[in-house]
Amino acid sequence: MELVHSGKVRELYADEDDIIMVASDRVSVYDVVLPTPVPGKGVVLTQLSLWWFGQLTGVIANHVISGTDVPAQWAGRAVRCRRLRMLPVECIARGYLAGLGLAAYNETGTICDVRLPPGLGEGSHLPEPVFTPTTKATAGHDEPMTRADLVLLVGTRMAAELERVTLEVYRRGAALAASRGILIADTKLEFGVDPDGALVLADEVLTPDSSRFWLASQWQPNRPQRSLDKQFLRDWSAALDWDRKPPGPAIPPDVVAATQARYQELYARLTGRDE
Ligand code: PZK
């Protein structure tokens, strides 16, 4: 199969008219891919994404053709998808303040033209989820967009549709996760358009590589939150003499095992399944 795109932790292949998305066991911490894989991660994230797509079928069509009709060597970690015309925007919804959203708020009191109340801090729960689209930078980091930027890129109707669907996916996902003790701080969605012009949810959905997951029982205002999946990696790497630039350090076996256990726990809690 032809390799179409290789990302930090995933690969995209072309199979005739379809594409096959393959999730590796690679992990990144502070945006650096580490040299040691976390066995099982690609399978867990793929199965979680497929489960969410299923939960969301009433909200929006998706690109999944099959989670099983894939080459045997990638069983469990690959998804056969419809090839779409991808929209050049990352659609982010935020329910809590963290990351680039926090940085924008601290500078301007707004995120992507949405004014937020004063006095919010790191980890704050927002009064309403906000839609904060960003550009897909080909080099360097993604940049926040204004509403006007988005309209120029996709048109008025599509801009409104993207906002509505992104917020609805976030609301549904966050409500379901909250009922299982997990907060979804924010999530990044990618959409494509099918040959009929219909909007389709693509990529992966509501996984820890596209979203911030926090344990509700551990949430505290005004501090960085403990990430459900990567906290062991962060705590361990913080104690090293590492400048957070590539190449990252090799992960010791006990930290690999603890990280694996966190991915499993997240999957089991959200889906109610054991694997
Ligand atoms: C598509 N990416 C992101 C980059 C990955 C994924 N259904 C689709 N049709 C056509 N193209 C894409 C999709 C989807 N989803 C996704 N880039 C293009 C990407 C690197 C690795 F696994």
pLDDT tens figures, 120-173: 999 999 999 999 999 987 666 778 899 999 999 999 999 999 999 999 999 999
Query: How remote is the CA of residue 265 from the centroid of ligand 1, in Å?
Result: 27
Q: Which mutation among 1, 21, 205 tests ligand 1's pocket best, with the greatest number of atoms within 8 A of CB?
A: 21
Q: What is the pTM of this model?
A: 0.97
Q: Can you read off the two tokens belonging to residue 4?
A: 């179409």
Tell me if 81 CB under 6 Å of ligand 1. yes
Q: Can you read off the two tokens belonging to residue 260?
A: 């694996």
Share of the chain above pLDDT 90, in %: 96
Question: What's the pLDDT score for residue 274?
Answer: 72
Atom of ligand 1 nearest to the CA of 83: 9
Distance between CA atoms of residues 39 and 132, nearest Å: 33
Q: Which residues, in sequence order, are bridge partners of residue 115?
A: 110
Tell me if 5 CB under 6 Å of ligand 1. yes
Query: How remote is the CA of residue 109 from the centroid of ligand 1, in Å?
Result: 33
Tell me if 223 CB under 6 Å of ligand 1. no
Tell me if 158 CB under 6 Å of ligand 1. no
Question: What's the pLDDT score for residue 140?
Answer: 65
Question: What's the pLDDT score for residue 139?
Answer: 65
Tell me if 10 CB under 6 Å of ligand 1. yes
pLDDT of residue 103 exceeding 70, the answer is: yes
Tell me if 200 CB under 6 Å of ligand 1. no
Cα–Cα distances in angstroms (integers) from residue 199 to residues 82, 160, 196, in the given order:
12, 12, 9
Distance between CA atoms of residues 2 and 103, nearest Å: 39
User: Please, are residues 225 and 219 in contact by the beta-carbon 8 Å criterion?
Assistant: yes
Tell me if 12 CB under 6 Å of ligand 1. yes
The set of residues, in sequence order, having a beta carbon less than 8 Å from that of 197 and lying 6+ positions away, is none
